[in-house]
Amino acid sequence: MENSKNSLVRLIVKGVDKCKSNFDKKTGRFLAENGGWAVTNQDVIFPLSYLYVNKHPENPYYKNDEILNLCFCGGDALRNAQDADGKVEFVKIDGSKWGKTYMCWSMFHWLETFRLLKNFLPSERANSWQEGLYIAFEGIFKELQKSKVHNIPTWNAMAIFKAGLTFQNEKWQKYAKEFIKKVVKSMNPDGYWQEGQGPTTSYNLVYVHSLGLYYCASKDEFVIPSLKTATNFHIHFTYPDGSLVETIDGRVKYNSNPSCMGLPGFLTTEKGKRFSAFLVKNLCLKNPKGLCSPYLTSALEIWPDEIKPKDKIIQELTEYSRVYNGNAIVRKHKNFYTCLSGYVAPAKIQSELSNNRWIQDRSNFVSIWYKLCGLIIGGGNSKEQPTWANFSLWKGTFRLWCPDASQVFSKENEDKVILDFAGTKCSISVRFSGEKQVKIMFEVIKFSGADKIQSSLLLCLEKGTRVKCGKYKFIVDPIYSEVIFVKKSQTIQTKHYLIKSLKKHTFFYWPEYPFNPYAINGASPPESARGKLIFELTSKSPKNEILIRVK
C-alpha cells in the first residue's frame, strides 16, 4: 500500500496552481472561475501556510516566498472583509447574499493559518490578524452560549477550544469542553447526529471532523466512543469509490466526489485509519489536478507516517450485507453496492419540517451503484416534489409521497423495505441474480383509501451519455427534455447497462431537477438532473419489476 501521507501531500501540492491562477492581486481574494467570490474561497490560506512551514519530499513550496505572500494577502482580505463586530457578508460566488455572519469555516482556517505563521508575520499584520480573529471568536463564543447542538455550533465549539489555546483564553476552552460533552451525549446510537428526523451522511462529517480536531487538541478520551460509532456508520454508508451514500441523507444530494471532511475523526481509531487511507486514495483518483483543501490539511497535520493494512473494510470485500440497526440495508455484491433506506419522519414531524428549506422530504429509498459507471439508480431527496418520490399516492385531491413508518428485511440475496403511507403499504425490494444483474421490485402490499399510486425510479445519467430505446436515440443534455413511451420489456440502453420494466409499460422523462436549498432561488445545477421511469400501480396490478443488467 502506497504511503497515504505522501499521496495527501502530493494532492494538496497539485492544487496550488489553481490557487495561484485564482488569486487577485488587487484584493487578495481567491476568485472562482466565473470571477465571483465567496468568503470561504480564502480558506486555501491554511493549506498554503502548511506547505510553507512543513518540509516534505513531495512539497516544493517549503519556505517559498510566493506562497507566503499568498497567505499574507489572503488573510488580509479576510480582515478587510470584517465589520466592527468581526462578521463578514455571507456572499456566494453567484453573487447572492445571505446576511452577515461569523463564517465558521473561514474563521477557523484563518485561525489555523495564524497559528502556523505567527513567527513569520510582520508585527503590524500580526496585530491586525489577532485583533480580527479575537473579535470574531468572541462573537462566536457569545453565539455558542445561545446555541443548541447542531453541526455548525459543534464546529464552533471545537474552534473556540482551539482559539482558546492560541489566545490563552481558559473561559473559551472550558465552555467548549462542556458543549462538546453535550454533542457526544446527543449522538444517535446508529452513529449520526440527527437532522430532519434521521441522518445526513454529509453534515454528519462536520460533527466527526470537529470531534476529531477537538480530541487532537484536548486528548479528552470521552469523545472516542462516539467517534468509533460514527466511523462505523460512515464506513457502511460510503460507496466503493469513496462518495457518500445519499439514500439516507435528509439534506444533501448525491456527489460523485469523496468528501474532504471527517478524516481527523476517523484517524482516531484503527479501523478509521484504514478507512481514511481508502478515502485519500479515491480523492487522488477523482482529483488528478489536485485539491488544495483546508479540511485535508487538518488531517495531514495529524496523519500517521504509516498506515498498515489490517482487516479489509466493506468497500474492499466481494460480499457483505447488513441491516443497519433496523433502519437501512447495505449490500456489497461483487461490483455492486446497494442501499435501501428505512429512515422516515412521522407525519407530525413532517408537518413541522415543511417550512425548513434545508430539510428535504424523505421520499426516495433506493440506490444502486456499480464499479464501472458509479451511481445508476438514486440521487437523494428533494423538497415538496412528489415527482421525485418512489411512491406518490392520491386520496381524492390529497397527495401523499412521504411515508410515516417503515420496516426493513434482508435474506440471502434479497433486501426489502416496506413503507407505510397513512395505512397504504408499499414495498421496494432489491434482488441479485448472478454478478451482473439486479431486479428492483415495486409492490403495493395494502391499499387503504388510495385512489391512484404512481411509482418512479431515478436514473443517474451524466451529460453526454448516449441513450437508446428501441429505434429512438438521444444524447443526454440538461438543457433539452425527452419523453419516451417505453413498452413492457423494451430496453433502455447506455454504454454500461440496460434497464427494462418487466410487468408494465413506463414513461421515461428527462430531465427531472430537484429543489436545491443552497441556491437562493432553489435552482439545481446540471449535475443534479435525473432521468425518471414512471409507472402506475393499481389494486388489480399492484406489482412491477425493473431489471438492470450491466455490460
Is the predicted pLDDT of residue 309 greater than 80, yes or no?
Answer: no
Tally Cβ neighbours within 10 Å of residue 2.
10
Burial group, residue 154, by CB count within 10 angstroms (0-12, 13-18, 19+): buried
Whether residue 289 is found in the same domain as residue 333: no
Q: Are 256 and 374 in contact (CB under 8 A)?
A: yes
CATH at 22: 1.50.10.100
Q: Is the domain of 347 the same as that of 246?
A: no
Residue where the block lists cell 488531517 = 299
- 119 plus 151 within the same structural domain: yes
Q: Are residues 162 and 31 in the same domain?
A: yes
Q: Tell me the three cell numbers of residue 271.
A: 479501523
Average pLDDT of the residues in 26-30: 96
* pLDDT of the residue at 397: 82
Could you tell me if 331 and 217 lie in one domain? no
Claim to verify: residue 172 and residue 66 sit in the same structural domain = yes
Please check whether residues 292 and 361 belong to one and the same domain: no
- Check: CB of residue 350 under 8 Å from CB of residue 431: no
Mean per-residue pLDDT of the chain: 95
Which pLDDT band, with edges at 50, 70 and 90, does 95 fall under? confident
Q: What is the pLDDT of residue 2?
A: 59
109 and 199 share a domain? Answer: yes
Average of pLDDT values for 257-264? 97
pLDDT of residue 396: 82
| Secondary structure of residue 347 in the 3-state scheme | helix
Structure confidence at residue 346 as a pLDDT band (50, 70, 90):
confident
Rounded Cα gap, residues 431 and 453, in angstroms: 23
- Calculate mean pLDDT across residues 480-487: 95
> pLDDT at residue 451 above 90?
no
Does residue 402 sit in the same domain as residue 507?
A: yes
pLDDT at 508 exceeding the cut of 80: yes
What is the structure's pLDDT at 246? Answer: 97
What is the DSSP code (8-state) at residue 40?
G
The more confident residue out of 199 and 3 is 199
More confident residue, 353 or 275: 275
| pLDDT band, very low/low/confident/very high, at 109 (cuts 50, 70, 90) | very high
The Cα–Cα gap between 197 and 188 comes to 11
Q: Give the position of cell 512539497.
A: 59
In this prediction, residues 444-467 reach a mean pLDDT of 94
pLDDT confidence bin for 63, thresholds 50/70/90: very high
Helix or strand holding residue 485 (H, E): strand 482-486
Burial tier of 18 (Cβ tally within 10 Å: 0-12, 13-18, 19+):
middle
CA distance 390 to 428: 9
User: Taking 80 as the threshold, does the pLDDT of residue 3 lie above it?
Assistant: no
Strand 23-24 with 29-30, pairing: antiparallel
8-state DSSP, 190: T
pLDDT reading at 94 higher than 90:
no
Answer with the one of 314, 347, 373 that is the final residue of a domain: 314
> 160 falls in which pLDDT band (50, 70, 90)?
very high
- Is 291 strand, coil or helix? coil
Q: What is the dihedral of CA 99, 105, 107, 112, to 10 degrees?
A: -170
* 535 DSSP β-pair partners: 455
Q: State how many domains the chain has.
A: 2
Lowest mean pLDDT among 104-108, 217-221, 302-306, 461-465: 302-306
Instruction: State which amino acid sits at residue 528.
Output: S
**324 and 300 within one domain:** no
User: How far, in Å, CA of 156 to CA of 137, rounded?
Assistant: 9
Instruction: Among 314, 335, 355, give the residue marking a domain's end.
Output: 314
pLDDT bracket for residue 96 (50, 70, 90): confident
CA 66 to chain centre: 34
Give helix 294-302 / helix 4-14 axis angle, nearest 10°: 150
Question: Is residue 91's pLDDT more than 90?
Answer: no
| Confidence label for 398 from pLDDT (cuts 50, 70 and 90) | confident
Report which of residues 417 and 197 the model is more confident about: 417
The residue among 282, 314, 346 that closes a domain is 314
CA dihedral of residues 153, 121, 23, 135 (deg, nearest 10): 30
Q: Examine the domain organization and report whether 302 and 335 are in the same domain.
A: no
* Banded model confidence at residue 53, pLDDT cuts 50, 70, 90: very high
Residues 308 and 341 grouped into a single domain = no
Can you give the residue range of the structural domain that contains 435?
Answer: 317-550
Residue 121: is its pLDDT beyond 60? yes
CATH number at residue 393: 2.70.98
The reported pLDDT for the residue numbered 113 is 98
